[in-house]
Amino acid sequence: MDGLLFLLAFIPCEVLFSASVARLLLPVYPFELLSYIWLLAFLKLLLLLGVAGGLRGKWQRSGGGFSTRTLTLWPVVVSLAPPVYETAKLLAFRVPVEMHSGVHLSLLMVVASGVAGWFWGLLWPCGSHQGSIKDGGGDPPEEKGRAKAWAAFSKLWHYSKEDKAYLSGAFLFLMLAVVGEMFIPYYTGRVIDILGSKYKEADFFAAIFFMSIFSMASSLSAGCRGGLFMFTMASLTRRLRVLLFQALVRQEIGFFESTKTGEITSRLSADTARMSRSIAANVNIFLRSLVKVVATYAFMLNISLQLTLLTSLDTLITAGLQTVYNRYYEDLVKKVQDSIARSNDLAGEVVSSIRTVRSFTAEREEVDRYRAALLETHRLKTKQEMVQTLYLLARRLTVLAVHVAMLYLGQHQVQNGRISSGRLVSFILYQMEAGDHIRTMVYMYGQMILSVGAAEKVFQYMDRTPGVSIEGPLKPDTLQGHIQFKNVMFSYPSRKDVLKDVSFELKPGKITALVGPSGGGKTTCVSLLQRFYEPQAGEILLDGRPIDQYDHKYLHSKISLVGQEPVLFTGSIKQNITYGLQDASMSKVKEAAEMANATQFIQKMEKAYEMDVGEQGGLLARGQKQRIAVARALVRDPQVLILDEASSCLDVDTEHKVQGALSRIPGLTMLVIAHRLKTVEKADHIIVMEEGRVVQEGDHQQLMEKDGLYQRLVQRRFLENGTGHRAKEDSAEIE
């Protein structure tokens, strides 16, 4: 229906113009016929664009019809083809301008362009919107995708501006290299002609001389062009990586939970490299090929029009084959890459959890899983090779067929004296080059779109606004460390209602303990206090001001956290204690280590504070890691200290010493999450949480007097510890 409506709207306009207006006004038109043809073409273009606009509006409302591109391209092609043809004919062959008009011609034009559009759509299904009449359904998703890809490409271009000078140099050398190369087949043909006819030494040496000059100049320019493009590519990759990393580390914690590490690292490594390649390498090769194709065709047209037309047939078939192949092959490449990534992920997961694998004797299952993943990759790769082989076969057969036809026609033209044999050789050389470059162009175009796709993904991360803003302005000189949770509600993206209307207070100079069954929401409260997430309702106040109004760096220097699993980084003990600080003195480091009761074991080490802790602190025991983590929190003189199960790996003596040292810090607000009774009962205030709610509050004495969850938790464990074993009592846990 849409197609019929399209024809019903366009055919009358076409007929009106070509059959009536065209003839009617001609007798009274005072200027050249060519200008009349151009004038008519523009008038017709305006009319057709108006009709197209009407159709577009109708289809936008009803949600059907053809794409915007088709509705623009069709009027442009149908209107401007005749004047362009007449002008080219006049300029190239000095043939007088003719006025082609009439109903039959108009109908023929509409039908011919319709068939061409249909054929185009068939040959390039993904690009059907570029020219096919019927693309059904407004702007298809691929068109939107491609438009987005081009938007990403122009953005990438923007990031390359810093290398403008190098890129301009590269383009200049590109043109020089192409111009030089273009003359080589010409002089080859000329040499053959000189040798075949009456031999003139001067002509021969002149031809050889120019050929050498052009060869040398083009080789030199090609080298400079390649070098400059590669240099641009390397610096663009580096710049993009830094910018992306900068954007990544600003994202909220939820982003890292919902995005796989492999995906982030592949954006950082593979995608950034691929996108800069699209600017440097792909654009370089694409442009080189484009310029070469245009130049080669100019030379070929100069030699023989018929032979050039025949070559165009080869070009069309080759380009069609390459496009179809590209789409299929790229799809396969993507599948192979995904499959390789899956097997790598699998291997990485097993290696990093080898202890678990070993203790559950799952080695055999893991090897089987890895083998299956590799087999899938192998299957896809075999398919990829097969597709490549079939494509090469089809391409070679086409090239061969066109060559035979060209030699046949060429031989006729030489026999008829229309071209010399030397010029036929030149033509064949040009034709071979043109074919190669058209294939490269189509391939590179596909690669550019593909790499622009990678760029789009990278820009998605680069432009992402962090879910939790870290731009607060507050940096007060003094801070009390008074914290209030007021009716806080919170859900994780993957888990609803984790905190339900939670309200409590942490007072300066006091130790508050957060206790309760596992999964009650204790660590979640800490995460909100650290601004890893944003609560959905309620507010968290620090000294009466919403916590999100504080400056990011300031807030984290005032609120220090020692988490459940102390995370250390590769580097010395000192570097780990001063992590994130630029100006911590050695005496401050030693003081913090002393308070964390870490001095003793550090001094026993060969290099003391300079000792390397290994990857993720792997060379230290868990208790030692925890003490370094405590020292790291204390070295920044926090006003609020959060210990989330921070002493779970410390022996009771050590914990006692650490707590003693901490209690001597004046005005420190301390929040302790612990399962160990000895730790909890010393707290000034205890908050009991269960299933995301605060169910009880008070000190140990008050809570023990009430018949509630706290009492039950304590009694349960106390009964267990009632055996009198000291060791057991030490590890007595509330839950």
Range 120-158 burial, b when 16+ CB lie within 10 A, else e:
bbebbebbbbbbbbbbeebbbebbeebeebeebbebbee
State how far the Cα of 322 lies from the Cα of 258, in Å rounded to an integer. Answer: 39
Under the criterion CB under 6 A, does residue 145 sit at the interface with ligand ATP?
no
Residue 494 beta carbon to ligand ATP: minimum distance, rounded to whole angstroms: 5
The correct pick among 416, 518, 582, 587 for binding ligand ATP (CB under 6 A) is: 518
Show the site string, 238-277: x = touches ligand ATP by CB under 6 A, - = not: -------------------x--------------------
- In terms of CB distance, is 131 or 520 closer to ligand ATP? 520
When binding is defined by CB under 6 A, the residue of 125, 519, 538, 698 that contacts ligand ATP is 519
Least distance from ligand ATP to the Cβ atom of residue 495, Å:
4
Q: Which is nearer to ligand ATP, 13 or 689 (CB)?
A: 689
Q: Minimum distance between the CB of residue 720 and ligand ATP, rounded to whole angstroms?
A: 18
Nearer to ligand ATP, 492 or 601 (CB): 492
The rounded distance, in Å, linking the Cα atoms of 468 and 430 is 60
Distance CA 162, CA 506 (A): 51
With CB under 6 A as the contact rule, which of the stretches 82-90, 233-241, 472-480, 513-521 interacts with ligand ATP? 513-521
Say which residue the tokens 């062959």 belong to.
Answer: 93
Across the beta sheet with 537-542, the strand order is 495-506, 483-492, 537-542, 545-546
Which of 204, 256 has the CB closer to ligand ATP?
256
CA proximity to 101, closest of 25, 20, 10: 20
- Give one word for 642, left, alpha or beta, with left for phi > 0 and alpha for psi -120 to 50: beta
User: Does residue 495 belong to the site contacting ligand ATP (CB under 6 A)?
Assistant: yes
> What is the per-residue DSSP string for 367-378?
HHHHHHHHHHHH
- Binding segment (CB under 6 A) for ligand ATP, from list 111-119, 120-128, 520-528, 575-583: 520-528
**For residues 245 and 255, which CB has a smaller minimum distance to ligand ATP in the complex?**
255
Residue 563 within binding range of ligand ATP, rule CB under 6 A: no
Q: Is 643 helix (H, G, I), strand (E, B) or coil?
A: strand
Among 127, 226, 410, 520, binds ligand ATP (CB under 6 A): 520
Three-state secondary-structure class, residue 644: strand
Q: In whole angstroms, how close is the CB of 519 to ligand ATP at the nearest point?
A: 4
Residue 100, burial from CB neighbour count under 10 angstroms (0-12, 13-18, 19+): middle
Tokens found for residue 672 = 């302790």
Choosing from 182, 194, 498, 628, the residue that interacts with ligand ATP (CB under 6 A) is 498
Q: Distance between CA atoms of 154 and 327, rounded to whole angstroms?
A: 23
Shortest reach from residue 515's CB to ligand ATP, in Å: 9
- Strand-pairing partners, residue 504, are 485
Residue 156 or 499: the one with the smaller Cβ distance to ligand ATP is: 499
Q: How many helices (H) and strands (E) does the chain have?
A: 28, 10
Q: Which stretch binds ligand ATP (CB under 6 A): 116-124, 340-348, 481-489, 517-525?
A: 517-525
Task: Choose between 509 and 519: whose C-beta lies nearer to ligand ATP.
Answer: 519
CB of 643 to ligand ATP, least distance (A): 13
Sole binder of ligand ATP in the list 56, 522, 558, 676 (CB under 6 A):
522
Residue from 266, 523, 575, 731 that binds ligand ATP (CB under 6 A)? 523
Q: Do the beta carbons of residue 566 and residue 625 sit within 8 Å?
A: yes
Alpha-carbon span 674 to 511, nearest angstrom: 12
For ligand ATP, the closer of residues 65 and 563 by Cβ is 563
- Cβ-in-10-Å burial (0-12, 13-18, 19+) of 352 comes to exposed
Among 322, 431, 524, 659, binds ligand ATP (CB under 6 A): 524
Binding region for ligand ATP (CB under 6 A)? 257, 492, 494-495, 498, 518-524
